[in-house]
């Protein structure tokens, strides 16, 4: 069996490569190797590698820059998945596409289920929702997996940003009024491999168990990181509200917790609690992974 990973240089892509099942012929393509927004390049990659499975971890994730780079955001987040869906359907390959909690408005008071109506706000969110629709309209049997607040030892993410701030400044201001589902890229990757092996299709939510505010998440990062010697013991996480900070070009959802019950039935068990996943990730960083 041959599997292509697109976006293989990002944090999820790297974890998908690390956790790929034994015996699989893996073709890991970063953006330099395959620009998914180029339909001809996508067709050439399918012709060259004849994949049985494609997992699309490529995405434009610059939430604020997207407000002024809409063409690029839509090219990567909408047109790219559409190209992959068309090629996968034509070649008889399974497709897994990764999306985000940002497709929801963020005004809910209970976790968003897969049947909840998306209401994206901002260019990034709209481009990701457009990618979901493009995939499912072109290839209804594909798997679209929404996730949230992804962290890992690699690339740019909230965890790495908090660690850097605590090391350089000794404290970090973090909002208390944004709540979501922290998710380890490795746990997400393992779940995607499992769902792909079971040929699950349709919309799914894949996040670690539990929820947290950005402030609570940062507090846990600081506590565990200090215990491992990654940051000084006397660092501080300072609570603020979103309105207290300078406005960003794109609005962040105030609430983005995802209901995973639909997906848990397919996996057989929920993903482990996010604090456990964070602990393992910080231990990997302490061991030198980054």
What is the number of domains present in the chain?
Answer: 1
Q: Is residue 252 part of a domain?
A: no
Q: Is residue 95 part of a domain?
A: yes
Q: Residue 190 has what pLDDT?
A: 98
Q: Is residue 76 part of a domain?
A: yes
Predicted confidence (pLDDT) at residue 100 exceeds the cutoff of 90: yes
pLDDT mean over 157-164: 98
Q: What is the CATH number of the domain that holds 65?
A: 3.40.50.720
Give the sign of the dihedral formed by CA 266, CA 267, CA 269, CA 270.
negative
Q: Is residue 247 part of a domain?
A: no
The pTM assigned to this predicted structure is: 0.97
How confident is the model over 188-236, as pLDDT tens digits? 999 999 999 999 999 999 999 999 999 999 999 999 999 999 999 999 9
Tell me which residues are annotated as active site: 124
How confident is the model over 14-39, as pLDDT tens digits? 999 999 999 999 999 999 999 999 99
How confident is the model over 103-122, as pLDDT tens digits? 999 999 899 999 999 999 99
How confident is the model over 247-270, as pLDDT tens digits? 999 999 999 999 999 999 999 999
pLDDT mean over 141-170: 97
- Residue in this structure with the two tokens 């406005």, named with its chain if needed: 247
pLDDT mean over 113-135: 97
259 close to 205: Cβ distance less than 8 angstroms: yes
Contacts of 83 (CB under 8 A, 6+ apart): 36, 37, 38, 39, 42
Q: Token pair for residue 274?
A: 């996010």
Q: Token pair for residue 127?
A: 């481009």
Residue numbers of the domain that contains 26: 2-155+183-210+257-273
Q: Residue 20 has what pLDDT?
A: 98
Q: Is residue 44 part of a domain?
A: yes
Q: Token pair for residue 242?
A: 């979103």
3-to-19, 20, 162, 197, 282 alpha-carbon distances in Å: 13, 9, 34, 11, 29
How confident is the model over 41-82, as pLDDT tens digits? 999 999 999 999 999 999 999 999 999 999 999 999 999 999
H/E run at residue 56: strand 53-56
Q: Is residue 204 part of a domain?
A: yes
pLDDT mean over 119-143: 97
- Give the chain's mean pLDDT: 97
% of the chain at pLDDT higher than 70: 100
Q: Is residue 261 part of a domain?
A: yes
Q: Residue 290 has what pLDDT?
A: 85
CB atoms within 10 A of CB 44: 13
Q: Residue 182 has what pLDDT?
A: 98
pLDDT mean over 83-108: 97
Q: Is residue 176 part of a domain?
A: no
Residue by residue, what is the 3-state secondary structure of 157-224?
Answer: CHHHHHHHHHHHHCEEEEECCCEECCEEHHHHHHHHHHHHHCCCCEEEECCCECCEEHHHHHHHHHHH
∠ CA 121-72-65, nearest 5°, is 55
């Amino acid at each position: 069996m041959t599997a292509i990973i697109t976006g293989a240089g990002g944090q999820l892509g790297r974890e998908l490569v690390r956790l790929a099942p034994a015996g699989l012929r893996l073709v890991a393509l970063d953006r330099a190797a395959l620009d998914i927004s180029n339909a001809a390049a996508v067709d050439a990659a399918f012709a060259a590698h004849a994949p049985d499975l494609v997992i699309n971890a490529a995405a434009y994730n610059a939430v604020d820059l997207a407000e002024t780079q809409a063409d690029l955001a839509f090219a990567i987040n909408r047109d790219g998945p559409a190209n992959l869906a068309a090629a996968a359907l034509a070649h008889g390959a399974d497709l897994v596409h990764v999306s985000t909690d940002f497709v929801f408005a963020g005004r809910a008071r209970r976790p968003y289920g897969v049947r909840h109506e998306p209401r994206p706000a901002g260019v990034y969110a709209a481009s990701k929702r457009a990618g979901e629709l493009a995939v499912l309209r072109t290839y209804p049997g594909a798997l679209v997996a929404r996730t949230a607040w992804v962290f890992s030892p690699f690339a740019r993410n909230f965890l790495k940003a908090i660690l850097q701030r605590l090391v350089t400044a000794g404290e970090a201001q973090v909002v208390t009024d944004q709540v979501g589902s922290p998710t380890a890229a490795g746990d997400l990757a393992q779940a995607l491999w499992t769902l792909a092996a079971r040929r699950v299709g349709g919309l799914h939510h894949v996040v670690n168990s539990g929820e947290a505010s950005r402030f609570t998440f940062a507090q846990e990062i600081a506590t565990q990181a200090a215990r491992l010697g990654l940051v000084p013991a006397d660092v501080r996480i300072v609570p603020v509200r979103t309105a207290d900070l300078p406005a960003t070009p794109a609005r962040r959802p105030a609430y983005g917790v995802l209901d995973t019950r639909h997906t848990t039935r397919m996996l057989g068990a929920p993903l482990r609690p996010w604090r456990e996943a964070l602990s393992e990730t910080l231990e990997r960083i302490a061991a030198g992974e980054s």
